Amino acid sequence: MTGTGSYRAALVGCALLCLGGLIATTSETNARMAAMAAVWGLMAAGWNIVSGYAGPLSLGQAAFFGLTWFLSTLLFIEYDLTPYLGIAIGVVASLLLAVVIGLATLRLSGLYFALATLTIPLIMGTLTRYFDWFELTRPYVGESARHFQFNSSLPYYVTAAVLLAAALFFTAYLQRTRMGRYFVAIRENERAAEASGIPTLRYKLYAFLIAAVMASLAGGIYGQIAFVFTPEDAYSPVTSIQALLIVLIGGAGTVLGPVIGAALVIPAGQLTAEHFSHLPGLDHLAYAVVLLIVAFFSREGLYPLLARGTERLGQLLGRRRPRAPAAVVRKEGP
């Protein structure tokens, strides 16, 4: 992966975010949708690092998303602590949690790691309810930048978009460093990577920590947009799966994956929910069908599928330069 290619992709990502910004200015409903898309894009960018680049399939990003949302809201209610600090504390707590989970579970094989990460948010949800934190309402202080609260959703979009852009450039930068090369080698074949001098457990942990930071930042901002914290929303398996869905549709292991995925999935979801409100569950059903298709064909997500589709279409219509046949579906490593 040449260096320039990845930075160019990050720039395209920023162009998309600016486009999103334009759309966000048209109405409050659009601003809120754009903010949601940017937040989920940030969450997806985290998942993309650990499971898109480095390989171990993490199904527990909700643990960090939920923990930061919870801490920033609780500290705001109990000690009137500004959410900026609350989110920072949430990020630190998530990092500690990620180190503990990582060291304990990254040694296990793919299936067991996925299972362990799936179980942890469920435990956190039950414990939160056990200590009687069922619903935490975010205090209302009107328009106050100090408390990260605004009448319009636009400022939330700007914050989330800036963080997402930073995540994109960081992903692009990663591709040009040793860590990025190691991530990809581990994803391709962990045992061969270990035999080639790569400390696989340590680098899987680094990927997991980076993902935890991004997931907790996303959870922190989401907490300001959402009005009420409930353990069901914060720690539900669907939260982790949404991150996976976005990256797989946008393209796992690519810089642009999270942005494209979020730009497609979130607006499409809200539109189907809006126009088919009498058919509850239709939007998630559509996601699942797309995810099923993507899981079969390629790890790079929907995008290459479309590219191949247009290619074959071009050939069928008798374009002069027939392309080389598409790459054969690769056999996964053991």
Residue 317 binds another protein (CB under 8 A) = no
Residue 296 binds another protein (CB under 8 A) = yes
Of 92 and 155, which CB lies nearer to another protein in the complex structure? 155
Tell me the Cα Rg of the chain: 20
Structural tokens at position 331: 């056999």
Question: Among 65-73, 84-92, 162-170, 223-231, which window interacts with another protein (CB under 8 A)?
Answer: 223-231
Residue 47 CA to residue 55 CA, distance in Å, equals 10
- Asked if 210 and 46 touch (Cβ cutoff 8 Å), the reply is yes
314 Rama class: left (phi>0) / alpha (psi -120 to 50) / beta: alpha
- Asked if 195 and 104 touch (Cβ cutoff 8 Å), the reply is no
Residue 58 CA to residue 110 CA, distance in Å, equals 9
Residue in 79, 137, 145, 319 binding another protein, rule: CB under 8 A: 137
SS3 assignment, position 270 = helix
- Asked if 106 and 205 touch (Cβ cutoff 8 Å), the reply is yes
Residue 24 CA to residue 63 CA, distance in Å, equals 29
Residue in 169, 189, 209, 314 binding another protein, rule: CB under 8 A: 189
Residue in 278, 317, 318, 321 binding another protein, rule: CB under 8 A: 278
Shortest separation between residue 315's beta carbon and another protein, angstroms: 15
Residue 233 CA to residue 252 CA, distance in Å, equals 25
Residue 201 binds another protein (CB under 8 A) = yes
- Asked if 194 and 200 touch (Cβ cutoff 8 Å), the reply is yes
Residue 145 CA to residue 35 CA, distance in Å, equals 16
Residue 332 binds another protein (CB under 8 A) = yes
Residue 18 binds another protein (CB under 8 A) = no
The interface with another protein within residues 162-181 (CB under 8 A) comprises 175-178, 180-181
Residue 151 binds another protein (CB under 8 A) = yes
Residue 89 binds another protein (CB under 8 A) = no
How buried is residue 145: exposed, middle or buried, by Cβ count under 10 Å (0-12/13-18/19+)?
exposed
Residue 28 binds another protein (CB under 8 A) = yes
Of 92 and 291, which CB lies nearer to another protein in the complex structure? 291
How many chain residues are in contact with another protein, going by CB under 8 A?
A: 122
Of 28 and 80, which CB lies nearer to another protein in the complex structure? 28
Question: Among 38-46, 211-219, 263-271, 314-322, which window interacts with another protein (CB under 8 A)?
Answer: 263-271
Residue 239 binds another protein (CB under 8 A) = no
Residue 313 binds another protein (CB under 8 A) = no
Pair type for strands 228-229 and 136-137: antiparallel
- Asked if 39 and 95 touch (Cβ cutoff 8 Å), the reply is no
Residue in 15, 85, 100, 313 binding another protein, rule: CB under 8 A: 15
Shortest separation between residue 113's beta carbon and another protein, angstroms: 10
Residue in 18, 80, 281, 313 binding another protein, rule: CB under 8 A: 281
Residue 316 CA to residue 314 CA, distance in Å, equals 5
Question: Among 23-31, 68-76, 79-87, 211-219, which window interacts with another protein (CB under 8 A)?
Answer: 23-31
In the block, which residue shows the tokens 């162009």? 15
Residue 300 binds another protein (CB under 8 A) = yes
Question: Among 60-68, 81-89, 212-220, 293-301, which window interacts with another protein (CB under 8 A)?
Answer: 293-301
The interface with another protein within residues 94-123 (CB under 8 A) comprises 104-105, 107-112, 114-116, 118-120, 122-123
Residue in 18, 26, 79, 145 binding another protein, rule: CB under 8 A: 26
In the block, which residue shows the tokens 């800036």? 162
